[in-house]
Structure 1
Amino acid sequence: MMSYQQLLDQRAQLEADIAAARAAERRAAIAQIRRLMSEHHIASHEILPRRAARRARLLEGEVLYQDPVSGATWAGRGRPPRWLAGRERELYRVNLESQDSREGR
């Protein structure tokens, strides 16, 4: 029977082998995807539609509203914060164009 330390060493080696195999298969999959995109003249923006790209950006935590007093922000999802309760949201809306330029988008 193997000792505890030998089993741990074996597990570490297996985890390293798994990581290497995963990386190799990932590289092969990416190469295949690129080949197919080139072969069929598919642009990357056709894979991820605009709506999905916008949703992904929103999920990143894009700030839509900001309290000028405290600097607190809200992305417009979930329950509105107390500082915005009962107030007109548009007065607290962040200018998205200037935010995009600040973030390098």
Structure 2
Amino acid sequence: MERRARQEREELEAKIQEARTRHLEGVVKEIQAKIAQFGLMPSDVFPEFNFSRKRKESTSQPKYRDPATGATWTGRGKVPAWIGDKDREQFAI
């Protein structure tokens, strides 16, 4: 008896989940149609979300300065020509 009740419960839960999934699919299609109809962007519908994928700008402080020109370098990336093979300590800020 208990086994049968458990099986019926599982079947009912599966049917409920199926019905919910079908309903949500319909709702999503309706929303997509409205968005297309009015030419909306995601940011129009959800303004609290930031949809841009901008990279965070580097906030590294310069570690080296060219005394002749005042140009600076953070120590990242390609070594500037004004440092070249010279001792970096003489350009340290």
- In structure 1, stretches of 5+ residues that fail to align are 55-95, 100-105
- In structure 2, stretches of 5+ residues that fail to align are 59-93
Which residue identity does 1:37 align to in structure 2?
I
Which has the greater radius of gyration?
A: 2
TM-score by length of 1: 0.47
Which residue identity does 1:7 align to in structure 2?
A
Q: Map residues 11-90 of structure 1 onto 2, 5 A cutoff.
A: 11-49=9-47, 52-53=48-49
Cα offsets for 1:51-93 (capped at 9, x unmatched): x225xxxxxxxxxxxxxxxxxxxxxxxxxxxxxxxxxxxxxxx
Of 5, 19, 29, 1:7 maps to: 5
* Over 6 Å off, 4+ runs: none
SS in 1 for 2:35: helix
What is the Cα deviation at residue 98 of structure 1? 6.0
Which residue identity does 1:53 align to in structure 2?
F
Count of residue correspondences: 54
Q: Considering only aligned residues, what root-mean-square deviation do their CA atoms show, in Å?
A: 2.0
Which residue identity does 1:29 align to in structure 2?
V
Between Structure 1 and Structure 2, the one with more helix by share is 1
